[in-house]
């Protein structure tokens, strides 16, 4: 069993596969309501990184370059049909680098990259680093900048202690990421942003256009940094429609 990829609703006859990469501090749970909303032709695979949920006993990665070899090894056996990547925040950065790692290996290429609440990779990190702060300051900055940590976790010392190493490692990946220029991706890129997102402004999403030689689309949605998880969000349906359009013009892999 591959612990990296989880299929909550396997669809062996689906013609497309979408791999979903979570935000910092997140896991596959953030996508649990997506499978039923993508349609029968799309099989959803959650990417489960070490240090969270079913893999919480494993040490988390704190460097994207160090993560890439193991992640690409885990993905490679699952690329037996046309596929695309979706990443939320840090997940968007990891998905982008995974696409480039697979290309460097001469492996199959994703038909499309969907990212949400993730600044273009070539832009420098614009905020003071927080991954090295002490626990109280770190959690305070997380809530101030992003929100998203349930109050019951913050108030429960044991739960907070379990979450902290993974969350700090994820923020280290995000803040210490160093972009290396390569050729644009062949697959297109669709970028989603939240109109009320305090950390990721629309202007920081536009340069994603430079990372593809294919189609580019930018779509702003109502909501903050966690708009993809909002009950009101139609993001899964938007991704499904975009992926279906891509499939019509993509040669079989």
Active-site positions? 89
* 241 and 9 Cβ atoms separated by less than 8 Å: no
Largest CA distance in the chain: 52
d(CA 84, CA 114): 8
Cα–Cα nearest to 149, from 139, 157, 138: 139
For 41-95, the DSSP string reads TEEEEEE--TTSGGGTTSPPP--HHHHHHHHHHHHGGG-SS-EEEEEETHHHHHH
b/e for 206-219, b at 16 or more Cβ within 10 A?
eebeebbebebbee
CB atoms < 10 A from the CB of 56, how many? 14
* 18 and 142 Cβ atoms separated by less than 8 Å: no
d(CA 164, CA 124): 25
């Amino acid at each position: 069993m591959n612990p990296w990829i989880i299929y909550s609703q396997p669809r062996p006859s689906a013609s497309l596969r979408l791999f979903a990469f979570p935000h910092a501090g997140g896991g596959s749970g953030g996508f649990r309501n997506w499978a039923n909303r993508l349609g029968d032709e799309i099989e959803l695979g959650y990417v489960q990184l070490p240090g969270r949920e079913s893999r919480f006993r494993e040490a988390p990665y704190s460097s994207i370059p160090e993560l890439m070899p193991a992640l690409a090894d885990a993905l490679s056996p699952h690329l037996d049909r046309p596929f695309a990547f979706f990443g939320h925040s840090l997940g968007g950065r990891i998905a982008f680098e995974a696409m480039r790692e697979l290309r460097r290996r001469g492996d199959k290429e994703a038909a499309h990259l969907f990212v949400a609440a993730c600044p273009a990779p070539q832009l420098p990190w614009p905020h003071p680093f927080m991954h090295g702060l002490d626990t109280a300051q770190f959690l305070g900055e997380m809530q101030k900048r992003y929100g998203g940590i349930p109050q019951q976790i913050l108030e429960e010392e044991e739960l907070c202690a379990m979450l902290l190493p993974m969350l700090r490692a994820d923020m280290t990946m995000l803040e210490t990421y160093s972009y290396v220029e390569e050729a644009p991706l062949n697959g297109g890129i669709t970028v989603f942003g939240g109109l009320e997102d305090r950390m990721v402004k629309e202007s920081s999403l536009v340069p994603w256009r430079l990372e593809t030689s294919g189609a580019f689309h930018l779509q702003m949605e109502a909501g903050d940094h966690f708009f993809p998880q909002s009950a009101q969000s139609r993001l899964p349906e938007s991704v499904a429609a975009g992926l279906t359009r891509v499939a019509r013009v993509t040669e079989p892999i």
